[in-house]
Amino acid sequence: EAQVTQNPRYLITVTGKKLTVTCSQNMNHEYMSWYRQDPGLGLRQIYYSMNVEVTDKGDVPEGYKVSRKEKRNFPLILESPSPNQTSLYFCASSLFGGTGLNYEQYFGPGTRLTVT
């Protein structure tokens, strides 16, 4: 089944303890992206990647890192989490380029992160 998977789905952690949220897709998509969803603010893009070893900052990259060593995986790293990073995080992937018909994003189920 074509899908985007994220792990873990729920995570409670403490300030300063490094964590990684994994994201994997099995659709051979070039484009992958991370978002955070906060009430009243909608989805805000954290980082995106147009291909292996190519990553770019979105609107809210501060406090986050990403890597794209393989096409299928795009982990999100919080080196020193803080309470203001408590949020619902979504990973997404899509084909890339062309007329825009390839820009449909497929979203993961979300990871709810709480930083105390």
Q: Rule CB under 8 A: which residues touch other proteins?
A: 31, 33, 35, 40-45, 48, 50, 56, 58-59, 90, 92, 96, 99-101, 103-105, 107-110
**What is the smallest separation between the CB atom of 10 and other proteins, expressed in angstroms?**
15
Q: Residue 49: count other Cβ atoms within 10 Å of its Cβ.
A: 21
Distance separating the N- and C-terminal Cα atoms of the chain: 36
**What is the smallest separation between the CB atom of 116 and other proteins, expressed in angstroms?**
26
Q: Which two tokens stand for residue 1?
A: 């089944």
Which CB sits closer to other proteins, 98 or 116? 98
Which CB sits closer to other proteins, 56 or 70? 56
**What is the smallest separation between the CB atom of 57 and other proteins, expressed in angstroms?**
8
CA separation for the pair 80, 23 (Å, rounded): 19
Beta bridge partners of 12: 114
Which CB sits closer to other proteins, 13 or 107? 107
CA separation for the pair 109, 103 (Å, rounded): 19
